[in-house]
Chains A and B, each alone.
Chain A
Amino acid sequence: MADLERVRDVTEHYERLQGLRLVALGVPFLLSASWRAGWLGGWPSRDPRVAGYWFVTSLGLAVAVSYVIRAWYRRRFGLAQSTLWRGGALPLLAVSTAFLAVIGLQTALSWRLSVPALFLSAVFTSIGLERRGWRRHYLAVAGVWIVFAMLGVAGVSVDTRDVALDVVVGLGLIIAGLGDDRVLKGALRPPLAEDARPL
């Protein structure tokens, strides 16, 4: 019965468990953090506008790489398309809407504690605890966001918080991505090359 639960859970979440796609998206944020912190020695430009173009370009490249990685997952494990209800599109829409509302609240009330970061932390905690913690690596992502939420209260400067935000986004994507990939690879067994075609 536990095995049938694995079959159901991994099939429902198959597209979201293709974690290496998230890892690719995390890299531009870590590069951006390095640039903001001055670790790249002003490369590709000290002008924030030019650096912004580079960031958008690297993000576009990361999206393209994530599609290549999706094709790799499909070649390795096959294709399973989620339903609208079970694929997470509707929860994502609800969370995004609530997140925008929380950002509006933060902007209006200018709290030193970052409530949007705490909100994200709560979302990641709930993902980390669902179904007996099968994606418990999201608890680490939640922890990173809690630390970020506290930086304003701890008196950390805005410049440092800008760097920290990029680090948190990049690190969060990489932790989530590597963890999801591990869950997926632990749950699926790709067929041997000579046994991979329908008879």
Chain B
Amino acid sequence: MPGPFEELTNLDRVVHEPGRLAILTALEACRMADFRYLQSVTALNSGTLSRHLQTLETAGLVAIKKGYRRRVPHMTLRLTRQGREAIGMYWQRLDVLRRSAQESRVPVPSSGD
């Protein structure tokens, strides 16, 4: 049975990065969102958000639709099925990791002993 450290190395690095995890969490909670909303909810600047979205699109976790709205570039995003599975799996693994860390914790003797 793998220990907590081995479980930690099994975590999906694409999902694990805090900025991308926030993006995936937001997209998991809705049908679709636009670029501006993701900026508002994650507080990432446009450059960082664009880079994260590119990474997530390359990994097949997010579908991006680019267009124009009142002659202004407008980007809408949604989680792909693969993205939904990836974030579900991530939380599952994190939960296993938390439980195995709790089980393997060595009790610390109190100062009065």
Q: A residues engaging B (CB < 8 A)? A: 3-4, 7-12, 14, 76-83, 86, 187-191, 195-199
Contact A199 B33 (CB under 8 A): no
Using Cβ atoms and an 8 Å threshold, which residues of chain B touch A9? 29
Nearest CB of B to A17, in Å: 12
Partner of B46, one of A10, A83, A187, A198: A198
Using Cβ atoms and an 8 Å threshold, which residues of chain B touch A14? 30, 37
Using Cβ atoms and an 8 Å threshold, which residues of chain B touch A190? 40
Contact A80 B37 (CB under 8 A): yes
Q: What are the interface flags for B61-97 relative to A under an 8 Å C-beta threshold, 1 for contact and 0 otherwise?
A: 0000010000011011000000000000000000000
Using Cβ atoms and an 8 Å threshold, which residues of chain B touch A195? 39, 45-46
Contact A78 B33 (CB under 8 A): yes
A131 to B54, CA, bound (A): 33
Chain B interface extent, by class: 20 to 34
B28 interfacial by beta-carbon distance below 8 Å: yes
Using Cβ atoms and an 8 Å threshold, which residues of chain B touch A11? 25-26, 29-30, 33, 37, 41
Contact B30 A4 (CB under 8 A): no
Assuming the contacts A195-B45, A198-B46, A199-B46, asked whether A12 and B22 have C-beta atoms less than 8 A apart, the reply is: no
Nearest CB of B to A7, in Å: 5
Using Cβ atoms and an 8 Å threshold, which residues of chain B touch A86? 29-30
B36 interfacial by beta-carbon distance below 8 Å: yes
Contact A79 B76 (CB under 8 A): yes
Assuming the contacts A79-B34, A79-B76, A197-B72, asked whether A8 and B28 have C-beta atoms less than 8 A apart, the reply is: yes
Assuming the contacts A7-B41, A10-B41, A195-B46, asked whether A81 and B33 have C-beta atoms less than 8 A apart, the reply is: yes
